[in-house]
């Protein structure tokens, strides 16, 4: 049931990650945990904070020339998402449960490895899953892959946790996702005309979200679990 608060205090940004990322919680942020892993491996990397400030505990970045890597943590299971980019464009992406493996892949990309050599050395890249199994290339899967990559960057960062939580829910993962005016939207079709009338959600700060149902009603929730539940409850029958 949606909570009603007017003066919500910021929640512990790492609370939702305690079960699957104990070393990150102990380190105080993903940046510090990743820096420690890189230092142990002798990589000589400088791990940066990822803007905006509210994501400083759960996102990290490293850069060299036109190359960059964004690392994030997947909610609900242990998987460090590694997004390798060139000139801001994603070129290789994958997930691993091993923080040292994430640091190694990050180092390999920044020191100049070509994409084929990178994915050969680090097979989890290009899969999006720790198992290394390739993601299907149907239109909906491609849209999810692109949205998750965008949400890991500063432009859509306020929606990052919501996007990951929605992707983890099979009923929503089967829908075509998109964003418009800060709203995360869903459609039953990946092609135009897009399906309208499904619930949508947006982040409003301090871990709170607004959900608009297909009837046009507006609700406020705290946390992604309640938000996803409200979206699912509002899905009309096909």
Residue pLDDT, tens place only, 115-164: 999 999 999 887 443 333 334 446 788 788 778 877 766 556 678 889 98
Q: How far apart are CA 188 and CA 185, in angstroms?
A: 11
Count of domains for the chain = 2
109 shares its domain with 61: yes
Q: What is the mean pLDDT of the chain?
A: 82
39 shares its domain with 106: yes
Which pairing describes strands 200-205 and 218-222: parallel, antiparallel, or unpaired? Answer: unpaired
Q: Which is nearest to 81 in space by CA: 163, 158, 1?
A: 163
In the chain, the percentage of residues whose pLDDT exceeds 90 is: 38
117 shares its domain with 143: no
pLDDT of residue 17: 84
Is residue 133 included in any domain, yes or no? Answer: no
How confident is residue 9, by pLDDT bands cut at 50, 70 and 90? very low
Say which range, 5-9, 17-21, 97-101, 204-208, has the weakest mean pLDDT.
Answer: 5-9
User: Domain containing 151: what range?
Assistant: 139-233
Q: How far apart are CA 94 and CA 151, in angstroms?
A: 15
101 shares its domain with 152: no
Structure token digits, residue 206:
């301090």
116 shares its domain with 143: no
Is residue 2 included in any domain, yes or no? Answer: no
Is residue 126 included in any domain, yes or no? Answer: no
Is residue 155 included in any domain, yes or no? Answer: yes
28 shares its domain with 75: yes
Q: Are 195 and 183 in contact, with CB atoms under 8 Å apart?
A: no
Is residue 103 included in any domain, yes or no? Answer: yes
101 shares its domain with 166: no
Q: Which residue has the higher pLDDT, 70 or 134?
A: 70
Residue at which a domain ends, from 64, 87, 121: 121
CB atoms within 10 A of CB 171: 12
Q: How far apart are CA 105 and CA 113, in angstroms?
A: 10
150 shares its domain with 103: no
Residue at which a domain ends, from 121, 156, 179: 121
How confident is residue 2, by pLDDT bands cut at 50, 70 and 90? very low
Q: How far apart are CA 26 and CA 32, in angstroms?
A: 10
pLDDT of residue 107: 95
pLDDT of residue 191: 65
Q: Does pLDDT of 75 surpass 80?
A: no
Residue at which a domain ends, from 88, 121, 154: 121
161 shares its domain with 187: yes
How confident is residue 68, by pLDDT bands cut at 50, 70 and 90? very high
pLDDT, tens only, 212-238:
988 889 999 999 999 999 999 988 876
Q: How far apart are CA 56 and CA 206, in angstroms?
A: 14
144 shares its domain with 221: yes
Is-cis flag, bond preceding 193, omega within 30? yes
144 shares its domain with 226: yes
**Degrees, nearest 5: CA angle 199-180-163:** 65
Average pLDDT over residues 21-33: 94
pTM above the 0.75 mark? Answer: no
pLDDT of residue 156: 65
Is residue 238 included in any domain, yes or no? Answer: no
pLDDT of residue 32: 95
106 shares its domain with 53: yes
Average pLDDT over residues 208-214: 91
């Amino acid at each position: 049931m949606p909570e009603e608060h007017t003066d919500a205090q910021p929640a512990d940004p790492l609370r939702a990650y305690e079960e699957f990322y104990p070393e990150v919680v102990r380190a105080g942020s993903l940046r510090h945990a990743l820096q420690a892993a890189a230092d142990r491996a002798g990589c000589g990397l400088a791990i940066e904070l990822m803007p905006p400030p509210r994501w400083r505990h759960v996102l990290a970045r490293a850069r060299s020339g036109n190359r960059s890597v964004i690392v994030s943590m997947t909610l609900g299971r242990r998987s460090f998402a590694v997004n390798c980019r060139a000139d801001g464009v994603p070129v290789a992406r994958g997930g691993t449960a091993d923080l040292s493996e994430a640091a190694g892949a990050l180092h390999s990309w920044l020191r100049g490895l070509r994409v084929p050599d990178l994915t050969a050395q680090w097979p989890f890249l290009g899969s999006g899953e720790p198992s290394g199994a390739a993601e299907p290339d149907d239109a909906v899967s491609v849209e999810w892959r692109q949205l998750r990559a965008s949400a890991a960057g500063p432009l859509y960062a306020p929606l990052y946790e919501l996007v990951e939580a929605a992707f983890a829910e099979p009923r929503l993962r089967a829908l075509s996702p998109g964003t418009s005016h800060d709203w995360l939207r869903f459609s039953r079709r990946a092609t135009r005309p897009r399906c309208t009338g499904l619930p949508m959600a947006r982040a409003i700060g301090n871990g709170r979200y607004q959900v608009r149902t297909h009837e046009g009603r507006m609700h406020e929730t705290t946390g992604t679990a309640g938000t996803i539940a409200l979206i699912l409850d509002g899905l009309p029958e096909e």
